[in-house]
Amino acid sequence: MKRCKHNNLKVTPQRIAIYKKLIELKNHPSADAMFQTVRRDFPNISFDTVNRTLLTFSEIGIVDVIEGHGRQRRFDPDISCHHHFHCVKCKEIIDFYSAEYDNLEIPENIKKKFTVLSKRVVLNGICDKCTE
């Protein structure tokens, strides 16, 4: 919660509860998934607070809002450089790691024109569970 104070944000019980759930998660939850999880320990919390807090956290770099193919925004508690496999059937987003991908060079013409903040390789396909 140092990160909160550092950004002039108050340290509230709601923020602490959401943060704790976030760091123990290993998947890519939607705002509603986080809400359902957090409300088990904090029955009076509102969806709006969870959603707003996740967006606040993404602004101060605690979570990432990641690319998706569905209508729900997906958050990623793992903010290190890694890559994603999207299953087109079950919509799950699966992490994978590759030094080769991490070290990809940004093309010159892009570097000249734009400011690149992050890069990621996104694979689409069918996961092992959906193949049967």
Q: What residue ranges bind Zn ion (CB under 5 A)?
A: 87, 89-90, 127, 130
Is 24 or 132 the residue whose CB approaches a copy of itself more closely?
A: 132
Q: Considering only 9-17, 22-30, 42-50, 80-88, which stretch makes contact with a copy of itself by CB under 8 A?
A: 80-88
What is the closest distance, in whole angstroms, from the C-beta atom of residue 61 to a copy of itself in the complex? 13
Contact 50, 18 (CB under 8 A): yes
Q: Does 85 bind a copy of itself (CB under 8 A)?
A: yes
What is the rounded CA–CA span in Å between residue 76 and residue 61? 11
What is the closest distance, in whole angstroms, from the C-beta atom of residue 105 to DNA in the complex? 33
Is 73 or 121 the residue whose CB approaches DNA more closely?
A: 73
What is the closest distance, in whole angstroms, from the C-beta atom of residue 59 to DNA in the complex? 11
What is the rounded CA–CA span in Å between residue 30 and residue 36? 10
Q: Does 76 bind Mn ion (CB under 5 A)?
A: yes
CB burial of residue 10 (10 Å; 0-12, 13-18, 19+)? exposed
Contact 49, 8 (CB under 8 A): no
Is 48 or 67 the residue whose CB approaches DNA more closely?
A: 48
* Local structure of residue 79 (DSSP, 8 states): -
What is the rounded CA–CA span in Å between residue 9 and residue 15? 10
Q: Does 91 bind DNA (CB under 7 A)?
A: no
Site residues (vs Mn ion, CB under 5 A): 76, 78, 95
